[in-house]
Chain A
């Protein structure tokens, strides 16, 4: 039972890293970016290719995946996304979903459509078990690693957004661009870096998830629904909302599949519907914030 809880938390944490970038762009920048999963895929493929073709150690691949996806995010923000900031949401949706399909086709063309398999280093492969019987807790080392990375990231993000100067600039830019610009904030740079970091986080999520979730060209389409659920349930105005939502969904998904395998896949969706009926704006919404 504890093992299920543990697996659920690890899975939820993974969903959180994958989705938090989307929460940032969607919630703070008010841009519907359905191509978010494509950035995650980029990170995943950077890791897989670096490890398979160049034998780069796994731990070095993670920052590479973050930087690669962030760089791509920055370039695309400057060239493609910026002109769409003030367009209606439907335009943004169509644009970004088109981008997703292009990413899928491009990866299929250049790398091939097979599922990519990566070999984790030995020290991440093991498993530690505590206790006995129903209360036994079995922890896969890799899942522990995921949880640790996510926890560190959450703290860092929360700190940046609420305590640093950059955080206040970002929040100011979001709330009123014109006034923020009048105060001497370079809104373009703030948005550019935010978008890049969001994409980078997706890339990191993809890199971490490649082993657990599998990596093939349909990745962005396969997981888009999960990102959207996390963001919809968690609300988009904070970091803690999506975090708790991701944990809740991760645990519900894993436990549901364990205890009622026949219904397992539907539990997440039912939970989402219940929560959204109860709180249409998401579980945790900052008072007075944009929804």
Chain B
């Protein structure tokens, strides 16, 4: 009898092991990456896709016994489409992680799906503060606008900028930037003489800039989406506002690495605050920029690329920690609290808010090796998203 039981048990164990192996072999770990690959925000999609592929090329695709598969979908920046794609990815493709999200409305549209299906959603671009509060499954690796603008409001009054006019695009991130910049400026003893909001699709910035010029502030704080940033800057210079003693400051979207070189010498000296510059002086960043440019015909990585690159890192590490087992909750737990060095510098994922905590750098546009770069000259360490403080 005993022998028989032993044989049975062994047979069962062998079967279980074999079965387990079969399962492990057929198991792939799927990442559903939803990005705007066409339309207004296509550069965001292109940068993040390139960065994600670079990360996979550098770190292999066998992690924790699973083969990592990247499924890229184009949502053309339309939230309805993002939501539908996310549903398809979760239900049909059974993805383990959702990622990407070029704009805030897309991220918000997908949040509910992440919650219902208990799928971690790694936000790599969208930067409105409230996104991480929309679902307990959201983890962010990009940045938030309050984070970037508050740092600038800390720096400005110490550097002779007391009176500021703000000019933002009239939508979520713009209003975030305006609000948090203003509050912190007032707190630091500065003044906001006027807050201008321009329509998101504004044909001509002339009247707004003329108004700023007539108000004669020490500086103009700008947040507009990166394409429009160049137009604002050009008209700012053509209006001779720099000669009238008005400085141009803003979040790093205005001097996006992707477009900075096209802006020409007029951009020289513009001060911005942001979490990433392609010229960040660290060996890791140099390696990242070189590899990125080599893989993408000289395209320079911008802050979107680094958000995607670090997003992949967060997913990979979570997969390693859970050893390929465990569902969404285990992955999420492994994503929270990750501390690591990114090409942008040290950062971590705050375990409470699941939002990124990172250094915010003050940068000035300078010429280096014949190209324009945002050169960092000051840093505010470990900035937590101020939008979460309340």
Contacts and interface: CB of A to CB of B under 8 A. Distances in A.
A117 B228 CA distance: 10
B206 A113 contact: no
B40 A254 contact: no
Interface stretch (A91-99, A148-156, A171-179, A258-266): A258-266
A265 B238 contact: no
Contacts of A256: 207
Contacts of A4: 207, 210
A249 to B, nearest CB: 11
Contacts of B196: 261
Contact of A117 (B38, B43, B234): B234
B253 to A, nearest CB: 12
A214 B40 contact: no
Q: Which of A114, A212, A226 has the most CB of B within 10 A?
A: A114
B28 interface: no
Given A115-B259, A223-B203, A258 B210 contact: yes
Size range of the chain B interface in the assembly: 20 to 34
Interface in A134-184: 138, 140, 142
B112 interface: no
Interface string A52-67: 1000000000000000
Q: Which of A117, A127, A218, A223 has the most chain B CB within a 10 Å cutoff?
A: A117
Contact of B197 (A52, A255, A261): A261
A63 B226 CA distance: 30
A119 interface: yes
A259 to B, nearest CB: 8
Given A117-B262, A218-B40, A213 B204 contact: yes
B264 A212 contact: no
A255 B211 CA distance: 10
B227 A214 contact: yes
A265 B39 CA distance: 24
A173 to B, nearest CB: 35
B39 A114 contact: no
Contact of B239 (A52, A140, A216, A262): A140
Interface in B204-225: 204, 206-208, 210-211
Given A114-B258, A138-B239, A108 B39 contact: yes
Contact of A114 (B198, B210, B227, B235): B227
B206 A222 contact: no
Contacts of B161: none
B240 interface: yes
A127 B240 contact: yes
Contact of A214 (B207, B211, B231): B231
A213 B231 CA distance: 8
B42 interface: yes
A11 interface: yes
Interface residues of A, number: 38
A223 B215 CA distance: 30
B234 A113 contact: no
A113 to B, nearest CB: 4
Nearest to B208: A257
A279 interface: no
B43 A113 contact: yes
B201 interface: yes
B211 A117 contact: no
B199 interface: yes
B264 to A, nearest CB: 5
Contact of B207 (A7, A108, A115, A138): A7
A112 B263 CA distance: 17
B238 A140 contact: yes
B203 A226 contact: yes
Nearest to B37: A113
A254 B227 contact: no
A254 B201 CA distance: 15
B101 interface: no
Contact of B227 (A108, A129, A216): A216
Contact of A212 (B42, B204, B228, B240): B204
20 contacts: A7-B206, A108-B42, A113-B38, A113-B40, A113-B42, A113-B43, A114-B258, A117-B231, A126-B238, A127-B239, A142-B238, A212-B235, A214-B227, A223-B203, A257-B207, A258-B207, A261-B196, A261-B208, A261-B211, A262-B197
Given A115-B228, A265-B199, 18 more contacts: A3-B210, A4-B207, A108-B42, A117-B231, A117-B234, A117-B259, A117-B263, A125-B237, A138-B210, A138-B240, A212-B206, A214-B231, A218-B40, A254-B207, A257-B198, A257-B208, A261-B196, A261-B211
In the A-B complex, list the 8 residue pairs whose CB atoms are closest, starting with the nearest. Answer: A115-B227, A257-B207, A258-B207, A113-B42, A117-B262, A7-B206, A254-B207, A265-B199
